[in-house]
Chains A and B, each alone.
Chain A
Amino acid sequence: MARIDVRKTYKLYIGGAFPRSESGYSYVVNDAKGKFMANASLASRKDARDAVQAARKAFPGWAARTAYNRAQIVYRIAEVMEDRRPQFVDAVQRSEGRTAAQANKVVDDAIDRLVWYAGWADKITQVVGGANPVAGPFFNLSTPEPTGVVAVFAPQESSLLGLVSVVAPAIVVGNTVVVTSSYERPLPAVTFAEVLATSDVPGGVINVLTGSAATTGPWLASHMDVNAIDLTGVAGDADLAKSLEEASAENLKRVRRAPSAEPDWSLDPGIDRMTGVLETKTVWHPVGI
């Protein structure tokens, strides 16, 4: 007798828990060939609101951790991803329509990227901060501090490497994140959320919403308690990107503008994704007291 398929409906990841969408909606996720893979929750505005609340709650604790400890935790994510490699390879292969070898390479790159960013946690301060020479008897010290809650729209095409490449830089410097996954290819993000739940990342530091940027976007962009927004995932949709930028202006969010086309994620990422979600604090202190 043929075994009945287990047709999964994946959930969201908010505040360290896996809730269903508040709206109750889910949508069908097909693989690159149009064959059914699973159902994913369709995040609503209230899920976005709950995710921001969870991210805000997690922020002070996460930002107060030592850079060294954040590095350990991000490295731990990479370790746990390595443990679940077959699942990631399968998800990437089917979602993105790649060969097994290509998918393996993508997973390699994603894990390496996490390790690379983990290394930056206790080094970024030295690179972008420092002692400034001033014309007076003062020490003048600049240090970078995390911006706060960052709303990220993950790339639509690169469902795993792209996701990791936009989330890791934001959290490694001490921000908390609400990420809306690729709409067509959410399953690697779901598996990534399952990794997060088992890898020492405090609940609320990364919140994963599966669904459409057009649905969650306006609410996150206009949300007064979101401090920065990364529009990478709305690349190619100039109208949506423009309206989200306008909504973001209300509380002067830091905006990372949408590129005209999705970048090549296999290239060296540079540090600007980290510096874009850092604020520089400068302290003047009298010399000789």
Chain B
Amino acid sequence: MTTTPTTTASASSAAGNSFSDVTSSESALRRFLHGLPGVDQVGAEARAASLGTRSIKTTAKDYAIDLAIRMVDLTTLEGQDTHGKVRALANKAMRPDPADPTCPQTAAVCVYPDMVAVAKETLGTSGVNVAAVATAFPSGRAALDIKLADTRDAVEAGADEIDMVIDRGAFLSGRYLEVYDEIVAVKEACGPAHLKVIFETGELQTYDNVRRASWLAMMAGGHFIKTSTGKVQPAATLPVTMIMLEAVRDFREATGQMIGVKPAGGIRTSKDAIKYLVMVNEVAGPDWLDPDWFRFGASTLLNDLLMQRTKMTTGRYSGPDYFTLD
């Protein structure tokens, strides 16, 4: 089969002491990451494509659409964001379809740190989380203390989740320990907030690197691993997400610890979202079919999900005129 072999064997030896020997030195870490089995690129792409051909209809589609809505991190990360826009987005996250009270909430809204307070004020106790992108998003090119201050600032403003970017320059030049230490430091600065680690897979060049970055972030204590910022093309793709799902599956087998996955950027249609859900179920397992363990970073996706949902409930095709522009 085209599935890549699990990495349990290499990982379990390290699991006993929670990776402390792996991360004890630059060379040990490199040895571990480069010792992960390589990704068969053609095989991975073929498997991801074949999982994308499943036909999901009627009640399964109903379920998938509602689940996908609950998994959306409704995102606005623009220089032109205003308080009004963030408030509108937060309201949409709480009541995605004002015409239908049975429509579920989204998981979170995702904003820049300076908008966290505004989002939090609007969302109140609705149960929708506020996620903030920190650490000099999207490039990650700033000194560590600035990144940490950025993170603390967002957490103090009330962010429930922090989306950090890794230092791709350091990662690509092989300074893995530096990346590791940075994730650990940011996690500490997060305090009670959950940490999502963004790899920007569009800049990582190879699938092998995606697998290495996944393990690096999981060992460093990230709660979620996330594909992209949405600012770089290509953003989330099926094969990249599949490799990350394999990594979280193998990590749980090795350590018993569950890590979430969040593809972000480029997922625009319900059909795409359902392909991802099929892949989550088949690769990682049904345990991940939950907003606590799988998220979509998206903005336009929600409208398409709502249009499909309306089609399922009313039996007629809906149009973009009936949903808010954002």
Residues of A in contact with B (beta carbons under 8 Å apart): 49, 52, 56, 219, 222-226, 247, 250
Contact = CB atoms under 8 A, between A and B. Distances in A.
- Give the one of A49, A224, A225, A226 with max B CB within 10 A: A224
Contacts of A56: 319-320
B321 interface: yes
A contact patch SS: helix
B312 to A, nearest CB: 14
B320 to A, nearest CB: 7
Contacts of A225: 317-321
B322 interface: yes
A32 B318 CA distance: 39
A219 B317 contact: yes
B199 to A, nearest CB: 33
A138 to B, nearest CB: 31
Contacts of B315: 222
Contacts, number: 26
B57 interface: no
A46 to B, nearest CB: 10
26 contacts: A49-B317, A52-B317, A56-B319, A56-B320, A219-B316, A219-B317, A222-B315, A222-B316, A222-B317, A223-B316, A223-B317, A223-B319, A224-B316, A224-B317, A224-B318, A224-B319, A224-B321, A224-B322, A225-B317, A225-B318, A225-B319, A225-B320, A225-B321, A226-B319, A247-B316, A250-B316
Contacts of A250: 316
Contacts of B318: 224-225
A6 B320 CA distance: 43
Given A222-B317, A223-B319, A225-B321, 12 more contacts: A219-B316, A222-B315, A223-B316, A223-B317, A224-B318, A224-B321, A224-B322, A225-B318, A225-B319, A225-B320, A226-B319, A247-B316
A49 B108 CA distance: 31
A69 B321 CA distance: 28
A216 B231 CA distance: 40
A247 B315 CA distance: 11
A226 B316 CA distance: 11
B19 to A, nearest CB: 49
Interface in B306-324: 315-322
A225 B317 CA distance: 8
A247 B316 CA distance: 9
Contacts of B320: 56, 225
Q: Which of A52, A223, A226 has the most chain B CB within a 10 Å cutoff?
A: A223
A224 B310 CA distance: 11
Contacts of B317: 49, 52, 219, 222-225
Contacts of B316: 219, 222-224, 247, 250
Nearest to A220: B317
B57 to A, nearest CB: 12
Contacts of B319: 56, 223-226
A37 to B, nearest CB: 33
A100 B322 CA distance: 51
Contacts of A226: 319
Interface in B227-268: none
Contacts of A247: 316
Contacts of A222: 315-317
A223 B315 CA distance: 10
B301 to A, nearest CB: 16
Interface string B287-317: 0000000000000000000000000000111
Lowest 5 CB-CB distances: which A-B pairs, in order?
Answer: A225-B319, A222-B316, A223-B317, A224-B319, A224-B318
Nearest to A221: B316
A52 B317 CA distance: 10
